[in-house]
């Protein structure tokens, strides 16, 4: 896992923005941590945060699509750990394509915090627990809020 090139994301002033967090419950220990970190960062930035849960990563797309029409940004969180079959590849590809399509079609920022790891240990190291290398829940929230602010600036300037 490489952190090379990762920007140092700073908290943003998201006062007045509405953001939804939708998290899978599969691999609950990881997803609960991602969920908690995203919510904490969103609130720290001043955003109004709404929370939703789904069973697995494949269920994220349809819920994110519904939320994208009603929020300034959406954060999708999950954890897919590779097993011994190609199922991992299909799930990861499907989720990534769905979230990308929803963001483009709705013009709503979607923070993709779906971890795709080879092992549980790699997922823990990206989950934002104390001592972990990364905080993908918090980072996904910051990326979504930052993009929502940029879009708001563009939309004001082009009216």
pLDDT in tens, 47-67: 999 999 999 999 999 999 999
**Does residue 29 surpass a pLDDT of 50?**
yes
Helices (H), the chain: 28-44, 60-68, 87-106, 120-126, 136-157
- Among 10-24, 52-66, 72-86, 139-153, the minimum mean pLDDT is found in 72-86
Q: Is 18 annotated as a binding residue?
A: no
Residue 128 in contact with residue 137, Cβ under 8 Å? yes
pLDDT band (50, 70, 90) for residue 3: low
**Does residue 1 surpass a pLDDT of 50?**
no
Pairwise CA distance, residues 82 & 23, whole Å: 19
Return the domain boundaries, the chain: 18-158
**Does residue 26 surpass a pLDDT of 60?**
yes
**Does residue 8 surpass a pLDDT of 80?**
no
Pairing of strands 73-81, 48-54: unpaired
Catalytic residue among 16, 28, 87, 118: 87
Residue 87 is a catalytic residue: yes
Q: At what angle do helices 136-157 and 28-44 cross, to 10 degrees?
A: 40
Q: Is 57 annotated as a binding residue?
A: yes
Q: Is 80 annotated as a binding residue?
A: yes
Give me the mean pLDDT over the 144-149 stretch: 98
Homologous superfamily in CATH for domain 18-158: Lumazine/riboflavin synthase (3.40.50.960)
Q: At what angle do helices 60-68 and 87-106 cross, to 10 degrees?
A: 10
pLDDT band (50, 70, 90) for residue 6: low
**Does residue 2 surpass a pLDDT of 60?**
no
């Amino acid at each position: 896992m490489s952190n090379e090139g990762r920007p140092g994301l700073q908290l943003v002033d998201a006062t007045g923005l509405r953001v939804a967090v939708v998290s899978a419950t599969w691999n609950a220990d990881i997803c609960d941590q991602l969920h908690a970190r995203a919510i904490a960062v969103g609130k720290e930035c001043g955003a109004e945060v709404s929370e939703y849960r789904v069973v697995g990563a494949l269920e994220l797309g349809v819920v994110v699509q519904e939320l994208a029409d009603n929020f300034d940004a959406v954060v999708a969180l999950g954890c897919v750990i590779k097993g011994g079959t190609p199922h991992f590849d299909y799930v990861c590809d499907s989720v990534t394509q769905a979230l990308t399509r929803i963001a483009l079609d709705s013009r709503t920022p979607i923070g993709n915090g779906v971890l795709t790891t080879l092992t549980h240990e790699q997922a823990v190291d990206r989950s934002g627990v104390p001592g972990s290398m990364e905080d993908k829940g918090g980072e996904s929230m910051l990326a979504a809020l930052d993009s929502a602010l940029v879009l708001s600036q563009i939309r004001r300037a082009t009216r």
